[in-house]
Amino acid sequence: MSALIKVDHLTRIFDVSKPWLNRVIERLPKALLTAVSDVSFEIEENSVYALVGESGSGKSTIGKIVVGLVPPSKGAVEVEGVDLATETDAAKVEAVRADIQMIFQDPYASLNPRWRVRDIIAEPVAAKGGDTKGLAERLLEQVGLSAKDADKYPHEFSGGQRQRICIARALASGPKIIVCDEPTSALDVSVQAQVLNLMSDLREELGLTYLFISHDLTVVHHMADKIGVLYLGRLVEEAPRDTLFDDPKHPYTRMLFDAAPRMDAFGREVEPPKGEIPDAINPPTGCAFHPRCPLAVERCSRERPEMRQIGQTRVACHLAE
Ligand X SMILES: Nc1ncnc2c1ncn2[C@@H]1O[C@H](COP(=O)(O)OP(=O)(O)OP(=O)(O)O)[C@@H](O)[C@H]1O
Per CB under 6 A, residues contacting ligand SF4 are: 250-251, 287, 289-290, 293, 295-296, 300, 305, 317-319
In order of 94, 145, 170, 282, 285, the CA distances from 48 in angstroms are 24, 24, 17, 33, 33
Q: Which amino acid is at 47?
A: S
SS3 10: strand
d(CA 104, CA 110) in angstroms, rounded, equals 7
The residue (of 164 and 250) whose beta carbon lies closer to ligand SF4 is 250
SS3 42: strand
Give the closest residue to 305 by CA, choosing from 228, 229, 234, 253: 234
Out of ligand SF4, ligand X, Mg ion, none, what residue 53 binds, judged by CB under 5 to 8 A for its kind, is ligand X
Out of ligand X, ligand SF4, Mg ion, none, what residue 318 binds, judged by CB under 5 to 8 A for its kind, is ligand SF4
The residue (of 224 and 317) whose beta carbon lies closer to Mg ion is 224
Residues in touch with ligand X (CB under 6 A): 14, 16, 33, 35, 53, 55-61, 215, 280
- Min dist. Cβ of residue 59 to ligand X (A): 3
The residue (of 273 and 294) whose beta carbon lies closer to ligand SF4 is 294
The residue (of 154 and 233) whose beta carbon lies closer to ligand X is 233
Out of ligand X, ligand SF4, Mg ion, none, what residue 290 binds, judged by CB under 5 to 8 A for its kind, is ligand SF4
Burial tier of 287 (Cβ tally within 10 Å: 0-12, 13-18, 19+): buried
Question: Is 60 an interacting residue with respect to Mg ion (CB under 5 A)?
Answer: yes
**Which letter does DSSP use for residue 148 in this model?**
G
Question: Is 110 an interacting residue with respect to Mg ion (CB under 5 A)?
Answer: no
